[in-house]
Structure 1
């Protein structure tokens, strides 16, 4: 591609050369017609005669004596992945400038430690399936139920314990405290655009997980999405025969992550973190029911209005 201020495009350069070589036009007349200098016309005529391309040549030099050796570059990448230190610390090990080390890391897309997996030190390999429904992620987030009048996160530990003890219709533990239990947030989010289907229930058994899956399939189908695969962790509900048989009946292929590798299911894990910040602990709820009632509005905002950086800041026009 020619530079923005070029007088001749590659197509016109070829036309200029053909007028001179094939049609016998004088170089001065061709230069006047196209409003360029005669050396410019001569340049493209010479390239045409030698069979060269009419496109701009690269300005990169053929020889770079001061270029960092390939062995040093590979050593820089290896140290970054293994030690996960900064350019200043690692550059001193190799006796090179920190700016040179940073340039090498930038070229290798390792200039940020967040690009490396914490467990293995290897570059994070992001993946995304090509179309909606090709893969959905499923997981459960466990949240402590909120006592009436607010929990300890907002009212403090002492007042939180008083609110907990005063919450009615809850059994007491042997220490006299009310056992509020947990809320289990079941989420199914599809890989292509991070659109999420979420329900808050009172357990995470196989029967409950299967019910969520069936309702999610219907919810996605209403939006024109057919689920083909579902990826889960190795929880008991997802290892059960009931889950396997339900997936088979719905024509869904079940897949599970490798043990102790939650990163594989990272999209739904990241959603749960966003949900905790934006909904679960966003403000002081006066009861657990009030928090659950607020989920629908927050989920609508997440799916339809909130820009998503992983999807080029698109909203659910991405659905």
Structure 2
């Protein structure tokens, strides 16, 4: 019979023995789960992981693992294990897994080689005014250099906060922005704005993203996503 169906005798006897032991129900696929898991993360650590996740739903497995280590917890699992714990308890859906697809990343070699600047979309406050969050990110370190709640997006407001950043962190070699005001001129691409001229006089090169390509300032855009999820 084994020769007729092209299988080994070992495989044939396995199915015969399984049928004799449990009938047709025993012929289905069995669980591949091991009988014991000596390296399984203990329930206490899993509970701590889920506790941190519930307090900070926007945090990734990397950040949760690092926070537990910073709290002095012993035996903290790796970020891959933390990710598996979150998936096992339904904290990460299919859409979130798809969104976490690895991308080819790039960054400048040293801090202050390139800053990314932008305004996070404005929002209303209780006193009916609008808040315009200004952000600046260092391309190499992803360090948040500027995070200011502004009441407008004019040149003087932006330049004041940039000057404070220059005094604290030094001058960058280049600043990249989108094509909107006050650093760009949407109606006249390539024309220098007053803000750009001030930066150029300090020896800073100004550059702009391609129209409709926000990924050029991707690190700042990603920072905006965390800002919205955890603060706003």
- When normalised by structure 1's length, the TM-score is 0.37
Equivalence for 1:173: none
Deviations 1:151-197 (A, max 9, x none): xxxxxxxxxxxxxxxx5xxxxxxxxxxxx131011111101111112
Give the CA RMSD over aligned residues.
2.1
Q: How does 1:66-215 map to 2 (within 5 A)?
A: 115=101, 124-147=103-126, 180-196=128-144, 197-215=146-164
Q: Is the aligned partner of 1:236 residue 2:181?
A: yes
Could you tell me how far apart the structure 1 residues matched to 2:125 and 2:129 are? 9
Equivalence for 1:305: none
For the Cα contact (< 8 Å) 1:142–1:182, is it kept in 2? no
Q: How big is the shift at 1:246?
A: 1.1
Q: Secondary structure at the match of 2:229?
A: helix
Write 1 or 2 for the structure with the bigger share of helix.
1
The partner residue of 1:220 within 169, 183, 206 is: 169
Q: How big is the shift at 1:113?
A: 6.9
Q: Per the alignment, do residues 241 and 115 of structure 1 end up closer, same or farther by CA in structure 2, a change over 3 Å counting?
A: same
Structure 2 unmatched ranges of 5 or more: 1-97, 185-191
Q: Secondary structure at the match of 2:120?
A: strand
Could you tell me how far apart the structure 1 residues matched to 2:99 and 2:196 are? 38
Q: Secondary structure at the match of 1:236?
A: coil
Could you tell me how far apart the structure 2 residues matched to 1:135 and 1:217 are? 13
Structure 1 unmatched ranges of 5 or more: 1-111, 117-123, 148-166, 168-179, 281-319
Equivalence for 1:261: 213
For the Cα contact (< 8 Å) 2:125–2:131, is it kept in 1? no
For the Cα contact (< 8 Å) 2:116–2:220, is it kept in 1? yes
Which portions of structure 1, spanning 4 or more consecutive aligned residues, are displaced by more than 6 angstroms? none
Equivalence for 2:199: 247
Could you tell me how far apart the structure 2 residues matched to 1:146 and 1:200 are? 11
Deviations 1:104-126 (A, max 9, x none): xxxxxxxx67548xxxxxxx442
Q: How big is the shift at 1:217?
A: 1.3
For the Cα contact (< 8 Å) 1:132–1:192, is it kept in 2? yes
Could you tell me how far apart the structure 2 residues matched to 1:252 and 1:113 are? 35
Q: Rg larger in 1 or in 2? A: 1
For the Cα contact (< 8 Å) 1:228–1:251, is it kept in 2? yes
For the Cα contact (< 8 Å) 2:120–2:134, is it kept in 1? yes
Could you tell me how far apart the structure 2 residues matched to 1:134 and 1:271 are? 19
